[in-house]
Amino acid sequence: MLEISSVSNELIKKFISLKNKKYRDEYGLFLLDDIDLIKEAYDLGLLEYYLYANKPYTDFNCENIKTNTNVLSKLSSLENIPNGIGVAKIVQNSKEYSDKIIALDDVQDPGNGGTILRSALAFNFKTMLLSSSCFDTYNEKFIRSTKGAFFNCNIIRDNLVNQLLKLKGKGYEIVIADLNKNAINVNDYKMPEKMVLVVGNEGNGISKEIENIADKTIYIPINSKIESLNVGVAASIIMSKNNL
């Protein structure tokens, strides 16, 4: 067990730098500030360091570091300082695709993304594709709002157009959610065995390039007094039509 009390310690400085995507990529590590997620990372053999202030949650078989609440507050993005922080390995994705896939085209808010992944696991869309322009998937707000779906889904951040074309070639139906009233009402849409549901940017919706790849467009009928639904809600309503 190490004991470190200073935020200017080199190892702590390295951990603090992990709040920044650049350093997450450089070190191949990311931060976890929720004990359930730390446990999941540990069970998957991904936990490298566990930092705690007073009493450790348990004796994780990794580098345990006794520190103080000041250090933890610098590492956490939460308002309330957590009891412990985990530092886990970023691993290369297995690249196995589920039959039902959710894809995000330029979604910006990690909280929306986390809500979508949580719903995706709930409705058996166990693969999430993200365009390179989306939020970073090792962002703490994203990880936290997935409520554990993070470690149970296949998350692939890459060129979305290329990915969709490849999946189309493998027999996946590419379906976009849009406000276009000439589209198919979601209540009349029958899900095929293999499909990718694509939802778009919070303000601008689906990009033209991806519209051109889509096999079908579906919409959710809503009151004309409101312009659109929250992207997480729209994605979840459509995915909920998947018979479990």
Q: Is residue 78 within the footprint of its own copies (CB under 8 A)?
A: no
- Contact residue for its own copies among 118, 129, 164, 176 (CB under 8 A): 118
Residue 68 and residue 5 in contact, taking contact as beta carbons nearer than 8 Å:
yes
- Contact residue for its own copies among 6, 61, 77, 152 (CB under 8 A): 152
Q: Is residue 179 within the footprint of its own copies (CB under 8 A)?
A: no
Within a 10 A sphere around the Cβ of 45, how many other Cβ atoms? 12
Q: Is residue 232 within the footprint of its own copies (CB under 8 A)?
A: yes
In DSSP notation, 86-137 reads EEEE------PPPSEEEEESS---HHHHHHHHHHHHHTT--EEEE-TTSPPT
Site string for its own copies, 119-138 (x = CB under 8 A): x-xxxx--------------
Q: Which stretch binds its own copies (CB under 8 A): 37-45, 81-89, 142-150, 173-181?
A: 142-150
Q: Is residue 111 within the footprint of its own copies (CB under 8 A)?
A: yes
Backbone φ and ψ for 33, nearest 5 degrees, come out as -120, 20
Q: Which residues of 189-201 are buried (b: 16+ CB within 10 A; e: fewer)?
A: bebeeebbbbbbb
User: Among 87, 51, 86, which residue's Cα sits nearest to residue 68?
Assistant: 51
Q: Is residue 237 within the footprint of its own copies (CB under 8 A)?
A: yes
Toward its own copies, which CB reaches closer, 147 or 168?
147
CA distances from 43 to 39, 62, 92 (A): 6, 11, 17
Minimum distance between the CB of residue 237 and its own copies, rounded to whole angstroms?
Answer: 5
Toward its own copies, which CB reaches closer, 80 or 162?
80
Toward its own copies, which CB reaches closer, 8 or 223?
223
Residue 85 and residue 76 in contact, taking contact as beta carbons nearer than 8 Å:
yes
Q: Which stretch binds its own copies (CB under 8 A): 23-31, 55-63, 148-156, 168-176?
A: 148-156
Q: Is residue 240 within the footprint of its own copies (CB under 8 A)?
A: yes
Q: Is residue 204 within the footprint of its own copies (CB under 8 A)?
A: no
Long-range contact pairs involving 5-9 (C-beta distance under 8 Å, separation at least 24)? 5/67, 5/68, 5/71, 6/71, 7/70, 7/71, 7/74
Q: Is residue 149 within the footprint of its own copies (CB under 8 A)?
A: yes
Minimum distance between the CB of residue 4 and its own copies, rounded to whole angstroms?
Answer: 32
Backbone φ and ψ for 98, nearest 5 degrees, come out as -80, 170
Residues that bind its own copies (CB under 8 A): 111, 115, 118-119, 121-124, 145, 147-149, 152, 220-223, 225-230, 232-233, 236-237, 240, 244
